[in-house]
Chains A and B, each alone.
Chain A
Amino acid sequence: MKAYAGKILHVDLTSGKSRVENLAEQTVKLYLGGMGLGINLLMDHSKPGRDAFDSENPLIYCTGPLSGTLGLAGNGYSVVSKSPVTGGVGEGQVQGFFGSELKRAGYDAVIIKGKAANLSYLWIDDDNIQICDAQHLKGSSVQNVEQKIRNELGDFYIQVSGIGLSGENLCRFATIISDKYHTISRAGLGAVMGSKNLKAIAVRGTQNVDVADLESFTEFVKNNYQRVKNLETGKYQFSSKSLLELNSLSVLANKNWSSTVFVGAEKFDADYCIGGRYVEKTVGCATCGMNCNRVVAANGVFTDVSLQFDFDCLLSLGFLCGVDCFDAVAKAASLIVTYGMDCISVGAAVAFAMDLYEHGLISLEQTGGVDLRFGNIDAMFDLINKIGKREGWLGNVLAEGVVQAAQTIGGEAVNYACHVKGLELPGYDLRVLKNVALWFSVTFSGDRYLRNKMKMGKFGDVGSSKIEAGVGCVVAHENFLCNVLDSLIVCKSFSGVYTWKDLVDYYLFATGIKFTEEELRQVGERVENLARLFNILEGKGTRVYDDLPYKIKNVHLQVGDQKMVVSDEELQVGLDDYYVACGWTADGIPTSARLKQVGLGALSYISEAAIAAVRAQGED
């Protein structure tokens, strides 16, 4: 099994013991690695109904088959666990340098269970596993933790993946961060790590990573470097350059999904463009020629800001909160990263609170005397600090996520919470991107990282799209492709660069395992079904959970002379279509026949039980 390390590391933080298990070739052929392997291991190692913060809920780190190789855009890792936000599968992939180091240490997966007595960090030095005290790191940002651990262990090439203060506080926006700014952002996995009293994982790996066919592999990668350097790179850059274009199409939501075109958008576009005065440099992840990480230094109003910046931060912290000052957005993002939180979710939560405040659902007293109007920069900073530290009534309430917060606040608050399966939406207006709305509603993890405009382009003309028959098939296909990319851990920025044929070749040259395009697509389908089954076991996987937030379904958005909304009927049409495309029942449960087809026949008892349960409910 070339390119794989062939080993899974089990760590029990309660007892401090660890053991190594071999990774079966059969498992690899079914799930590739990364997210697919992670979800498979999660299924094997969890018990339905167990709380995400239960010490026995496994936190699973996985590397992909391409991690540790020269592979373009493949040097990532994946974290999978039960999400404390959605209650279903929580997953995230990130590139950078940590994944390749973990592979070189000799592991395809690390399964962490138990709870350390005190705050600790896990030190993986090839086959030497130690659990070290981390009480002196309490409250530190991941950026500082990385430096401190490197100093402590005396090696500056050690890679660290850890959590900030918000993770320790079990804030549901908490992320896992490596390489200072690379986040496993969604699904609150940082809080799962915090619940285990685990501050960080430090890793040093010195072993070789070999591929099956070095010559072909190298040739393949070399060709793709050229492709990326020529035509295809525009796709990722496109998203930032076309900010104004997207805004004029009303694709970008603003002020908590309440109005259409954002007036201050012009202020962003000029500044955000590469080479603008804010972007000091673009840097890259391991062996990647794309170099899309913009190192931003806000050199206007707010000083002392330096971070790597993403398009989605701008949408959530800028557009959603009604803030039209790039300095402020950069400063806010920098604060959020220091606490170790997710910019998208925090932005949505702040916008949610602002919306409630403007509609009189929370009072000045409840905000702690802060005038929480849309666009109030100081109020945004204040609230971010409160959420990060879990300070004050509002900070504590919001740190539980918008769904829980809406319940606590009560009244009509629930109508202002924009989320799918409990996970806050990124800043796209789904009323305009209707087919994307369907896509969001059916994902098993709340939402998928919708980074590429190119992806939206696939769903037809964004301005006039509507959900109609046939779109389910496209969404299903996209989901399967995403699953394959996340299992190979190929960066999504490259999803347009690689065709299915490329992915087949890439995998063949790296591992020596031959798939056909159809077989590879089926891996994606298998992962989709497996994740669905996990959610069903957790009671979150049926049709009623494939829903959209109130605002998207009921509040009309004025776009030109059209009033846009994704009506419930429209969504149901889309869901029917999607379920048919997946071979699921009308309740969104995979049928035994389909499960057998994708090689999950052994798990058909789950779907049978679920189908029976739904039927019994219907008879009542």
Chain B
Amino acid sequence: MTERHQDRKIVVSDPERCSGCGLCEYVCSMVNEKTFNPHKSRIRVIRRGLVNMAVSCRKCKDPVCVASCPKNALSQEKHTGIICVDEHACTGCGWCIGACSFGALNLHPDKKIVYTCNSCDVFNGVPQCVQWCTENALQYITAENLAQKIRQKIVSQLLETREVAKTENCNK
């Protein structure tokens, strides 16, 4: 398969839908660590009440985390864009954590090495956090599809406004 960046799917969260319940964090630790501990989750929730959001790896092109690692412990999988951590090479210095603009890398509390979203090691399937989210706030989606959806939504809203205006005119 040819490598196409636009095919890479990432986990994105809709801040308007996200209720901040943190279910995705628990599910992530359950799948990847076989325990319940949000401190070991690869996706992290920020709760601000009205606006909440879950953040995980964006699978950037030419990722800065990989470039910043002084030990060459990080690499990016060609097809999926997943950031892989060489557990033996990583010293847990945390340089990559500082380099990432999204706070998507974390230091593992036990292993003392960095870790980030591995898409539950599925390429075509859907990661568990997305499957579990009860609010449908998470999507596993390519950047292109995400943009499409947003555009569709905006146009739908415009249409709605038009319909409302029409009905109001009729009522007059």
A residues whose Cβ falls under 8 Å from a Cβ of B: 68-70, 97, 104, 180, 206-211, 214, 218, 222, 225, 228-229, 280-289, 291, 295, 306
Q: Is B81 an interface residue (CB 8 A)?
A: no
Q: Are B134 and A225 within 8 A (Cβ)?
A: yes
List residues of B (106-139) whose CB comes within 8 Å of A's CBs.
Answer: 109, 132, 134-135
Which among B34, B36, B109, B135 has the highest number of chain A CB atoms within 10 Å? Answer: B36
Q: Are A210 and B30 within 8 A (Cβ)?
A: no
Q: Are B37 and A206 within 8 A (Cβ)?
A: yes
Across the interface, name the chain B residue whose C-beta is closest to A181.
B49
Name the B residues within 8 Å of A281 (CB-CB).
16, 19, 49-50
Which among A208, A211, A222, A306 has the highest number of chain B CB atoms within 10 Å? Answer: A208
Q: Are B27 and A70 within 8 A (Cβ)?
A: yes
Name the B residues within 8 Å of A306 (CB-CB).
49
Q: Are A70 and B39 within 8 A (Cβ)?
A: no
- Please list 13 pairs of residues, one from A and one from B, whose beta carbons are closer than 8 Å in the complex, sorted by A's number: A68-B36, A70-B23, A70-B36, A104-B37, A180-B49, A208-B35, A210-B35, A218-B30, A281-B50, A282-B19, A289-B21, A289-B135, A306-B49
Q: Are A291 and B21 within 8 A (Cβ)?
A: yes
Name the B residues within 8 Å of A229 (CB-CB).
134
A287-B21 CB under 8 A given contacts A70-B27, A229-B134: yes
Complex CA distance for A104 and B109, rounded to whole angstroms: 13
Name the B residues within 8 Å of A287 (CB-CB).
21-23, 26
B17 CB, min distance to chain A CBs, angstroms: 10
Complex CA distance for A180 and B19, rounded to whole angstroms: 15
Complex CA distance for A180 and B47, rounded to whole angstroms: 12
Q: Are B134 and A289 within 8 A (Cβ)?
A: yes
A208 interface neighbour in B20, B36, B50, B52, Cβ under 8 Å:
B36
Name the A residues within 8 Å of B132 (CB-CB).
222, 225
Complex CA distance for A201 and B21, rounded to whole angstroms: 22
A379 CB, min distance to chain B CBs, angstroms: 31
Complex CA distance for A208 and B40, rounded to whole angstroms: 9
Q: Are B36 and A284 within 8 A (Cβ)?
A: no
Complex CA distance for A211 and B35, rounded to whole angstroms: 8
B26 interface neighbour in A69, A206, A210, A282, Cβ under 8 Å:
A69
**A69-B36, A283-B47 known, 12 other contacts, Cβ within 8 Å:** A180-B49, A206-B39, A211-B36, A225-B132, A281-B50, A283-B21, A284-B19, A285-B21, A286-B21, A287-B26, A288-B23, A289-B23
Majority-rule SS of B interface residues: loop
B157 CB, min distance to chain A CBs, angstroms: 16
Q: Are B37 and A207 within 8 A (Cβ)?
A: yes
Complex CA distance for A218 and B30, rounded to whole angstroms: 9
Name the B residues within 8 Å of A180 (CB-CB).
49
Complex CA distance for A280 and B16, rounded to whole angstroms: 10
Name the B residues within 8 Å of A284 (CB-CB).
19-21, 135
Name the A residues within 8 Å of B23 (CB-CB).
70, 287-289
Binary A-proximity of B52-85 (CB < 8 A = 1, otherwise 0): 1000000000000000000000000000000000
Complex CA distance for A288 and B39, rounded to whole angstroms: 18
B52 interface neighbour in A69, A209, A283, Cβ under 8 Å:
A283
The 5 nearest A-B residue pairs measured at CB: A289-B134, A284-B21, A208-B35, A284-B19, A70-B26
Q: Are B19 and A208 within 8 A (Cβ)?
A: no
Binary A-proximity of B136-155 (CB < 8 A = 1, otherwise 0): 00000000000000000000
B21 interface neighbour in A68, A209, A288, Cβ under 8 Å:
A288
B residues whose Cβ falls under 8 Å from a Cβ of A: 16, 19-23, 26-27, 30, 33-37, 39-40, 47, 49-50, 52, 109, 132, 134-135
Name the A residues within 8 Å of B27 (CB-CB).
70
Across the interface, name the chain A residue whose C-beta is closest to B24.
A287
Complex CA distance for A291 and B27, rounded to whole angstroms: 18
Name the B residues within 8 Å of A280 (CB-CB).
50
Complex CA distance for A225 and B19, rounded to whole angstroms: 15
Complex CA distance for A210 and B30, rounded to whole angstroms: 9
A275 CB, min distance to chain B CBs, angstroms: 13
Name the A residues within 8 Å of B20 (CB-CB).
283-284
Name the A residues within 8 Å of B36 (CB-CB).
68-70, 208-211
Complex CA distance for A218 and B52, rounded to whole angstroms: 25
A295-B49 CB under 8 A given contacts A70-B30, A218-B30, A286-B22: yes
B135 interface neighbour in A207, A228, A286, A291, Cβ under 8 Å:
A291
Name the A residues within 8 Å of B19 (CB-CB).
281-284, 291
Complex CA distance for A70 and B109, rounded to whole angstroms: 20
Complex CA distance for A271 and B132, rounded to whole angstroms: 32
A236 CB, min distance to chain B CBs, angstroms: 14
Complex CA distance for A464 and B59, rounded to whole angstroms: 64
Name the B residues within 8 Å of A282 (CB-CB).
19
A106 CB, min distance to chain B CBs, angstroms: 12
Name the A residues within 8 Å of B49 (CB-CB).
180, 281, 283, 295, 306
B110 CB, min distance to chain A CBs, angstroms: 9
A206-B35 CB under 8 A given contacts A69-B26, A287-B26: no
Name the A residues within 8 Å of B39 (CB-CB).
104, 206
Which among B16, B34, B52, B134 has the highest number of chain A CB atoms within 10 Å? Answer: B134
Complex CA distance for A206 and B40, rounded to whole angstroms: 9
Complex CA distance for A70 and B129, rounded to whole angstroms: 12
Complex CA distance for A312 and B11, rounded to whole angstroms: 38
Complex CA distance for A97 and B47, rounded to whole angstroms: 11
B36 CB, min distance to chain A CBs, angstroms: 5
Complex CA distance for A43 and B122, rounded to whole angstroms: 53
A13 CB, min distance to chain B CBs, angstroms: 28
Across the interface, name the chain A residue whose C-beta is closest to B35.
A208
A167 CB, min distance to chain B CBs, angstroms: 23
Name the A residues within 8 Å of B26 (CB-CB).
69-70, 286-287
Complex CA distance for A223 and B20, rounded to whole angstroms: 21
Name the A residues within 8 Å of B21 (CB-CB).
283-289, 291
Across the interface, name the chain A residue whose C-beta is closest to B16.
A281
Complex CA distance for A288 and B30, rounded to whole angstroms: 16
Q: Are A214 and B135 within 8 A (Cβ)?
A: no
Name the B residues within 8 Å of A286 (CB-CB).
21-22, 26
Name the B residues within 8 Å of A210 (CB-CB).
35-36
Complex CA distance for A180 and B132, rounded to whole angstroms: 26
Across the interface, name the chain A residue whose C-beta is closest to B49.
A295
Across the interface, name the chain A residue whose C-beta is closest to B19.
A284
A210 CB, min distance to chain B CBs, angstroms: 5
Name the A residues within 8 Å of B34 (CB-CB).
214
Name the B residues within 8 Å of A214 (CB-CB).
30, 34
Across the interface, name the chain B residue whose C-beta is closest to A228.
B134
Complex CA distance for A286 and B34, rounded to whole angstroms: 19
Complex CA distance for A473 and B20, rounded to whole angstroms: 41
